[in-house]
Every structure is written in C-alpha cells, then in structure tokens.
Amino acid sequence: MARRPGAAAQGGPVRRIDRGRQGHRSHGVSSVWSSPVERFAVGEVELTWGDEFSGRASLGAWRHGGSFTRFDGGRERHTTGTYLMLEQELWSAPNDSGGRQSVASFMQLGQADADLTVFETHLGGGVTWSEFVPDHMLGLAVTRVELSDEPGAALSEDHETAIEAFWRWQASPRLVLKPDVQYIVHPGGAGLDDALVVGLRAEWRL
C-alpha cells in the first residue's frame, strides 16, 4: 500500500512494578505501597514518504529508570539507549493472483550502555520479497552485535554476527508459520564454535 509523505512523534512512560519481597529491592524506587517500581520511557519520531515506492524512518530513544549493577561493580540509577530503523520499498509489480508483489529493504541500528549490558551496538539489515505467492514472504538478513569490552563482561570475542534466511507463510487467518535458518559467528561472544541453527516459529492469533 502506498504511503503519503508525513511525520509523526510519539512517546510516553511505561511503569513496571516488581513484586519482589523485602530484601530484593535494589532495583527501582518505592511506591506508596512500598513495592519497587521501575519506569521505562520511550520516545520516537517517524517520517514516511512515497506513493509508488513507500518508505519510513524511525528515530527513537529510551530510558529505563531501574537500578543496575555495572560490570565494574558500581551502581547506576538508570540506563539509556537509542535506535534508528529504516524501511524502503524497492520494487513492486502485479503477481499471478491479481495482487501486488514487492521487494523491500530494511536497516536497524541500536545502541545501549556498554557498562551495563554485553550488547553495546546492534546493526542489522536485509531484504524481503512479499506476495510473490499470496500470503508468502521470503527474506534474508544479516545482523552484527558489537559486544562490551569491559573486563567484567568476561567475553572472549568483540562481536556476534548472524546470517538468516527465512520464509513466512500466513497459513490461515490465525496461523502464521515462519521457518528459518541462521548461521551465527561467535555465538554469545563466549568463545564457542560458530553455529548453524534451524528453527520454526508458529503464531496463533486469538
């Protein structure tokens, strides 16, 4: 479906209450009910464009207001991150069933605090081919995660890379099947051998 040019902004706080018992209150702030409360807030700006070949770009930032332990043993009262997502339709044509098939590309970039999490930077991208047969999609994606180099992270590699091929089939109005194959280089950054992973994801919509 073609999109008209436009822009939008959104954001807001999300509160999550940790119902842990006394003695496990190192995360979050206390509520009036004396329970730890953690707040997660996200803000995002989105730009859309195109009539024939549509696309969109989203730029966002998030903040988690909990209490966290750094790799060096210190404490942080919050953590933040940013992300960028791009999608662009590259080609579109009629398919044999009277609908339209299309090829699109996507890119994702994310950043988090390397003092607190092993996943410092994430970069991913790929292409999809949709509706070449009704209710089917093929895709190829590559993702690379830069891992924290903090000594406390105890990692032997500086990155993890995954190459994925997938097929998505809308088998019925409620059932979606998605088999995929992934080849993972430096899985978990823990010095393990490269891995070949074959999976099947099923979704049932109520």
What percentage of the chain exceeds 70 in pLDDT? 82
One-letter amino acid for residue 164 of the chain: E
Q: What is the tens place of the pLDDT at every residue in 29-67? A: 333 444 455 688 999 999 999 888 999 999 999 998 878
The pLDDT of residue 34 is 42
Q: What is the tens place of the pLDDT at every residue in 19-28? A: 333 333 333 3
At CA 13, angle to CA 10 and CA 16, rounded to 5? 140
- All structural domains of the chain, each given as residue ranges with its CATH number in brackets, are 43-204 (2.40.160)
**CB neighbours of residue 196 within 10 Å:** 8
Token representation of residue 175:
């059932």
Q: Across the chain, what does the average pLDDT equal?
A: 84
The pLDDT of residue 17 is 36
What percentage of the chain exceeds 90 in pLDDT? 56
Non-local CB neighbours of 49 within 8 Å, separated by 6+ positions: 3, 5, 6, 55, 56
- Distance, in Å, from the CA atom of 46 to the CA atom of 76, rounded to the nearest integer, reads 30
Q: Is the pLDDT of residue 126 over 70?
A: yes
Q: What is the tens place of the pLDDT at every residue in 91-119? A: 999 988 888 999 999 999 999 988 888 88
